[in-house]
Chain A
Amino acid sequence: MFSDVIFIVFWLVIAIFAVLAVFLQKPIYNAFSMAISIFSIAGLYIFLGYEFLAALQVLVYVGAISVAIIFVIMLSPPVTVQPKKINPYKIAIGVITSLAFFGVFFMLFYVKYGDAKFGNTLNASISEVGKMLATKYALPFEIISVILLVAILGAIVLAKKEE
């Protein structure tokens, strides 16, 4: 009962701040709303029993990605010109596409998983995940590290000031 209340609070915080992150007008407000929404998703991972992934979520998304986005917003010159109205035709297309996507998948999930309950098996422990990463998934793990290295170098090369 009590856990249900906490779950609903987390659920609503995620949904409301995701809406704010999309529809607010100033980019810095959008960035902070996204940070709050993503931080609360870590709470849902705790509910699901993934403690390590909750910690990873907070470290990577809130600690790195949100801060990087806020840095770029603060480094950029202030946008003083009022953004011109976008075409209402395009807004209609966007809303219809998104609602159609939502409707189709809502029906699919409702029909298939409407009253599904989790079993009470324990999740794989983090030492088990670590062993899998070092044996069965060793090659994808190395490829991911190369991708991260290339991304870091690429970002530095792109953002370097030309002489």
Chain B
Amino acid sequence: MAFTLFPYLLLSLILVSLGLIGILIRRNLVIMLICVELILNGVTLNVLALNKFSLGGGAGGQILAIFIVALAAAETTIALALIFLIFRHYKEIDAEKLTELKG
């Protein structure tokens, strides 16, 4: 089972679906960011499993995974700074109540 492709693809699909459902139904900005991290991890797992399957674990897929991790780090940094700013400004992080963006 550890050497067949399907369990990896199923797990990455589960991670992406859970992240999607979390972004759509949770209203807390921090939890929405956590869901984005889950989606990125599912995507990386999918890339690496298919890289092993169809390219024999070549270098291209590994480099793509490294880039995904680096971009995820950059995205998280900016998102956390924005969440912190929203906290200080509005005193809450409920996405339903953040209806104005000016000032």
By a beta-carbon cutoff of 8 Å, the part of chain A in contact with chain B is: 3-4, 6-8, 11, 14-15, 18-19, 21-23, 27, 30-31, 34, 37-38, 41, 44-45, 47-50, 52-53, 56-57, 60-61, 64-65, 68-69, 72-73, 75-77, 79, 81, 83, 86, 90-91, 93-95, 97-99, 101-102, 105-106, 109-110, 113-119, 121-124, 128-129, 132-133, 137, 140, 144, 147-148, 150-152, 154-156, 158-159
B35 touching A147 by the CB < 8 A rule? no
Chain B residue nearest in CB terms to A133 = B63
Interface bracket on B: 35 or more
B24 touching A132 by the CB < 8 A rule? no
How many residue pairs link A and B with beta carbons under 8 A? The number is 225
Query: Known: A4-B2, A154-B81. Is A105-B13 also a contact (CB below 8 A)?
Result: yes
Q: How far is the CB of A101 from chain B (nearest CB, A)?
A: 6
Select which of A11, A65, A68, A116 is within 8 A of B4 by beta carbon.
A116
Select which of A27, A49, A140 is within 8 A of B52 by beta carbon.
A49
Chain B residues near A109 (CB-CB < 8 A): 6, 9-10, 13
A129 touching B59 by the CB < 8 A rule? yes
By a beta-carbon cutoff of 8 Å, the part of chain B in contact with chain A is: 1-11, 13-22, 24-28, 30-31, 33-35, 37-38, 41, 45, 48-49, 52-53, 56-60, 62-63, 65-67, 69-78, 80-85, 87, 91-94, 96
Select which of B10, B24, B41 is within 8 A of A38 by beta carbon.
B41
Chain A residues near B77 (CB-CB < 8 A): 68, 151-152, 154-155
Bound together, the chains give a CA A8 to CA B2 distance in angstroms of 8
A95 touching B25 by the CB < 8 A rule? yes
Chain B residue nearest in CB terms to A162 = B88
